[in-house]
Amino acid sequence: MKSLYVVALATMFATSVMADEAKGPAKPDLAKGATISATVCSACHTADGSRGIPTYPILQGQHADYLVKQLTEFKSGKRDNAIMKAMASTLSDDDMRNVAAFYASKSAKPGESKNPATVDLGKKIWRGGIAEKSVPACAGCHGPTGAGIPSQYPRLGGQHAEYVSGELTLFRSGARANSPQMMTIAARLSDAEIAAVSDYVEGLNSGK
């Protein structure tokens, strides 16, 4: 009888676990995400993730699952950044999902290119790549308007040129190593090409 009782308890426990797993993660709480944004992230990204300091990314309208992936990799050290590691280390998985959903729920404000002299080169790289260097078109992964693909490729349309340029430079040097694909591509770009495509990106306005 005792063994039957143990088996029954084990079955009940397993059934409960399976039921919880079937439910999946709780729906993100945008109010909690807003609080995290205001208390943890606002110094660099502003309270709503809008057009703050140009060397930091605009988070409004970014894909939530992409943001969660980056926060997770900052926390683990896979994406190396001392400031972001310290910030991400304070966040639980639920915190990350909540704040990512909060930013994703916003509509990013449009940006504009600042250097007319390099727009044609930037457009060429974005739309067609650089065949002689085996650099693929940026639009192939990030979309013609820079809307990106959730979880895989970030939304770049309207992003700060300074931030995009900085990240491409980090990929090129190997200092940012959480995307082998981007490291390979950036390694083939000159300073002038990085500057041109980054400025062009800021003028792409993909909306939501």
What is the structure's pLDDT at 205?
A: 78
3-state helix, strand, coil in the chain (%, to 5): 60, 0, 40
Residue 30 to residues 64, 113, 162: CA-CA distances in angstroms? 12, 32, 29
Q: DSSP code of 131?
A: G
Contacts of the segment 191-196: beta carbons below 8 A, 24+ positions apart: 192/118, 192/121, 193/121, 193/125, 193/130, 194/165, 194/168, 194/169, 195/115, 195/118, 195/161, 195/165, 196/115, 196/118, 196/119, 196/121, 196/122, 196/125
- State the 10-residue block means of pLDDT for the chain, 208 residues long: 49 51 76 97 93 94 96 97 96 98 93 95 98 98 94 93 98 97 98 98 77
Residue 3: predicted pLDDT = 56
Which residue is it, tokens 């894909």? 63
Residues in the chain: 208
Alpha-carbon distance of 126 to 135, in angstroms, equals 10
Domain 116-202 grouped into CATH 1.10.760.10: yes
The pTM of the full predicted model, rounded to 2 decimals, is 0.86
Q: What is the pLDDT, as a whole number, of residue 73?
A: 98
- Cα–Cα dist 158/162, whole Å: 11
Give, in order, the Cα–Cα distances in Å from 91 to each of 30, 56, 72: 15, 19, 9
For residues 158 and 49, the answer to whether their CB atoms sit within 8 Å is no
Domain with CATH 1.10.760.10 in the chain: 1-108, 116-202
Both tokens of 62, joined, read 């970014």
pLDDT score for 6: 44
Domain 1-108 fold is Cytochrome Bc1 Complex; Chain D, domain 2 (1.10.760)
